[in-house]
Each structure stands twice: as C-alpha cells, then as structure tokens.
Amino acid sequence: MSAQIISAQDFSKENQLAVSFKLLLGLYSIIPVCLLLQLFDGWFWHGFLQQNLPTSPSHILLFQIVFGTPHIIASAVVLASDTEYLKFYKLKIILMTVAIAIVFGLGSLFIPYKVFYLAVASWTVYHVLKQQHGVGRGLCRLPDWAFYLLLWLSVAAGLFVYIGIFLKNSLDVQQTEWIKYIAASLCAGLVLSAVLCQHYVTTQFGKWFLWANILLVLSSFYLYVQQYYLLAILVPRLVHDATAYIFYVTHDYNKHHTHPQNFIYRCAARCNVHVFIVLPVCSFLLAFVLQSYGDAVVSFITNFFFGVEIRKAVTLGLLGYLALMHYYTEAFTWKQGSPYRRFIAFSR
C-alpha cells in the first residue's frame, strides 16, 4: 500500500471516512509495550515470560487465528465479493493461480523444501514491511533511492530475524551466531541510512513515521536476540494486520454504507449489522473455522468418499494459496488509479 495525502474536499458526499495517519502511527505503540514487557520480565518477574511464552507463534492456534489469517481472508473477501474488481483483475488472478499451481505443484517434485520456505519467508517479510514503508511514503516524500535503501535494508534484516526465529531448531550454534551478526550489521546500516535519509523529510510528523518503521525492525531484532520470540513476531504482525484492517474497513464503509453493493453487505443491512464490523466479523469467523476445523472436515470427506485421507488441505493448501494471492494482489490493488482507491483517502 502506498499513500498520498488527500484533503477532505476530495471526498464525494458518499465517502465520509479517511484513513488517519495519526491512527496508523498510533499502532506502533505496540513497540514500547513489548519492550516494557521484556524489561519488566527481567527486572521483576524473573524471566517468567521468557520461560513460558511459546518459542514459536505457530505453536499457538489463537495467534494464528487472530494474526495473519484474518486479514488475508478479509483481503480475499474484498476482492472476491465484488464482480467489478474480479473482472478488472481477472487476468492477473488467473495467471497468478496458474503460476502458484506450477511452482508449488510441479516444482515441489524437484525443488528442495528449504528453498520453498526461504522464498515464501522472503515474500512474507517483504510484503509486511513494504506495506508499512509504502504507507509512510506519502508523508516522508523520500527520493526513490532513499525509499528503496531503507526498504531493502529493513527487509534484509527482517528476513534474518524471521529465519532465526522459525528455523532456530534446525540451526547449529555457529549458524545462529552468524544470523545474529548479519542481522545486527543490517540493523546498524539501517539506522545510519535513516539518519542520512531523514534530512529529506520536511515535516516532523513524517520523521516520526520514518523512525517508527525503523524501530519496527530494530525492536523485533532486539526481542529476537533476547529470546522473546513471540513478542518479536507480534510487533510487526500487529502493526501490519491492524493497518490493513483500517484500510479494508474504511474502503468498505465508504463503498457500502449508503448503498450496499454486494450480498454480504445487503444481508448485513437487512440484519441491522453495522458496516464497521461486517468484514472483521466475517474474516475472523472464517479464520477460526478454517484453522480449527477445516483440515479435519476435508480429511473426513475425502476418507469417507474416496478412502484417502488428505492432510492440511485447508491450513496448507487453501490458506497457503490465499496468502500468496494476498501478497501478490496487495502490491497493486491499493495503488493510485486502482478501483479500490476511489473509496480511500487520507488525513492527518
């Protein structure tokens, strides 16, 4: 997502909401909260959190239901429930679906698992940080070289933190130390680059947003080194997911609050359900059902009718496909000139 400031006069009468940059910046308050939790745990709680928090977010079903999956489903709902959007992006969706099928279908026969894992991990980290840097781009107004310098340093550092957390059980001591050293070097380069690039930012608010994105990576690295792995992932995950929901809900409110234009919002209007909660409720409910029961239901059906048990058809197959499509489509659906942007504007 990228942003440009649009005044209130640019709204039509039907579009009454704007995405607030102050609200988006406020999401970064999760950084000091998590850092204080880590400090208090060392000072007063004798490492209770460090010893009892899961070593990987994937070990907590609740974490998967609350973070990641819901906003991916919400993105798919926004796209799939609107025939105009489907027609506009039909060719791109078809081509990407074919590409995913070829790469992860045929490719899985001869491409090593770790190569797949690193590719998806890289795309995940890039997607998360590209969104945050893209949102701040309209405020910071950095030269292209400065924007991409900060972005790619952030992605590189974030990727090594991601690998260090999720692959820690398959790494030996020396590999772990090298990952920490490389991530630390990239973080140092990121700070130095930010000091250089902030001179191009003409407003104080823009500088706050720039440094908020830098601290997003630095805090995640610090918490990883301190072995608070859940908190290290929670920081960027919460900021990213909440930012996405602010865009989705604002878009849907501006599009549907006066004249519901798809079956979901027409049904909600008949049931007197407020437009603000329709998409979050649908996406969180679907995430819960699919994550908790999807695999078991599909396995039961295939075993009953065909005598074959298919494992992880939903959590790995369907949700994996939706995640990859989400990373792909979000790269262009919110850009200036897209159909989505008719229902989005920004304010401070």
pTM score: 0.88
Percent of the chain with pLDDT over 90: 53
**Is residue 5 one of the residues assigned to a domain?**
no
Query: What total of structural domains would you count in the chain?
Result: 1
pLDDT band with cut points at 50, 70 and 90 for residue 262: confident
Residues 209 and 140: beta-carbon distance below 8 Å: yes
Looking at residues 127-137, what average pLDDT do you find? 92
> What are the pLDDT digits (tens) for 51-98?
888 776 655 556 666 777 899 999 999 999 888 999 999 999 999 999
**Is residue 231 one of the residues assigned to a domain?**
yes
In which domain, by residue range, is 222 found? 12-347
**Is residue 4 one of the residues assigned to a domain?**
no
Least confident segment among 7-11, 37-41, 208-212, 307-311? 7-11
**Is residue 2 one of the residues assigned to a domain?**
no
Q: What is the largest CA-CA distance in the chain?
A: 66
Average pLDDT, the chain: 87
Q: What is residue 1's predicted lDDT score, i.e. its pLDDT?
A: 57
Q: What is residue 53's predicted lDDT score, i.e. its pLDDT?
A: 81
Amino acid code (one letter) for 122? S
Give backbone dihedrals phi and psi of 20, rounded to 5 degrees, phi first: -90, 125
User: Is the backbone of residue 225 left (phi > 0), alpha (psi -120 to 50) or beta?
Assistant: alpha
Q: What is residue 64's predicted lDDT score, i.e. its pLDDT?
A: 67
Cα(81)–Cα(77) distance, integer angstroms: 6
> What are the pLDDT digits (tens) for 166-209?
888 888 899 999 999 999 999 999 999 999 999 999 999 999 99
Q: What is residue 56's predicted lDDT score, i.e. its pLDDT?
A: 65
**Is residue 3 one of the residues assigned to a domain?**
no
**Is residue 1 one of the residues assigned to a domain?**
no
* Those residues with Cβ within 8 angstroms of residue 26's Cβ, 6 or more apart along the chain or in another chain: none
Per-residue pLDDT for 5 more than 90? no
**Is residue 66 one of the residues assigned to a domain?**
yes
**Is residue 335 one of the residues assigned to a domain?**
yes
